[in-house]
Amino acid sequence: MFAALKMIVLRDLMLAMRRKTEVMTALFFFVIVISLFPLGIGSEKQTLMKIAPGVVWVAALLASMLALERLFAADYDDGTLEQMLLIPQPVFVLVFGKVLAHWMLTGLPLVLVAPLVGLQYQLPEEAVTTMMLSLLVGTPVLSLIGAIGAALSLGVRGGGILLSLLILPLYIPVLIYGSGAVEASMLTGAPVQAYLMLMTAFAIVAIIFAPWATAAALKIAVE
């Protein structure tokens, strides 16, 4: 089972490296969005610090959605997905492998770029660290929830719009607690740990249930 998981992750990463423009799209989108606000609003420190948590998390949410529509679509179109569903390993292993590869390509780069965001928005060191931790915990939740929507909209005309309608409401708790954690880190005595623990709970629940739900949706789409 672990060999199959490793094979799926390496396969998706290798295919992604052949389409580097698609891989870099999410990162460039994130950087461009967070860079536009200081240019439009101004360089006043207090204003930038106040809007930074919301801007970062909205940009991360939208960036993670860019590659979701193609998460299973390419394998579905060429028949690879149907063959994958026939392997003896559980389908949730296939799903978890593809979601892990998606997060490594879209979520992990956002975590690594977080210090750049801190410089642009003049955030203190504690806020930058909290931002990286919240993105590290929250972006896998975005990928796992997005995989459910990608599977449900697979093969449907106008699937991108349907995908957005399905998953955006489910992203709201992650958005609230992720931006809340960063904002709390800039306030003395604020419960930053509580926000991070809640997001960790979201991640655990998503890891347990999202692959099973996605696997069921894929079987329905293929049948």
**Separation in Å, CA 112 to CA 85, 115, 133, 189:** 34, 7, 11, 27
- 6: which 2 tokens? 């490793």
pLDDT in tens, 140-175: 999 999 988 888 888 777 666 777 888 888 899 999
How far is residue 181 from each of residues 132, 134, 167, 196, 219, measured CA to CA in Å? Answer: 11, 7, 22, 7, 37
What does the domain layout of the chain look like in residue ranges?
2-222
Taking the mean position of all CA atoms in its chain, how far away is CA 17? 19
Q: What is the reported pLDDT for 189? A: 60
What is the token pair recorded at 24?
A: 């870099």
So what's the pLDDT on residue 209? 92
- Least Cα distance to 181 among 99, 123, 112 occurs for 123
Amino acid letter, residue 156 = V
Contact 155, 217 (CB under 8 A): no
24-55 pLDDT tens trace:
888 888 889 888 888 888 778 888 888 888 89
Residue-wise pLDDT for 89-136, tens only, equals 788 888 888 899 889 988 898 899 888 888 888 888 888 899 999 999
Q: Which long-range contacts (CB under 8 A, 24 or more apart) does 195-200 make?
A: 195/134, 196/130, 196/133, 196/134, 196/137, 199/134, 199/137, 199/138, 199/141, 199/174, 200/137
DSSP labels for 109-139?
Answer: HHHHHHHHHHHHTT--HHHHHHHHHHHHHHH
Are 11 and 94 in contact, with CB atoms under 8 Å apart?
no
HSE, CB side, 13 Å, CA atoms: give it for residue 36: 7
Q: How far apart are the first and last CA of the chain?
A: 24
The answer to which of 10-19, 142-151, 197-206 has the lowest mean pLDDT is 10-19
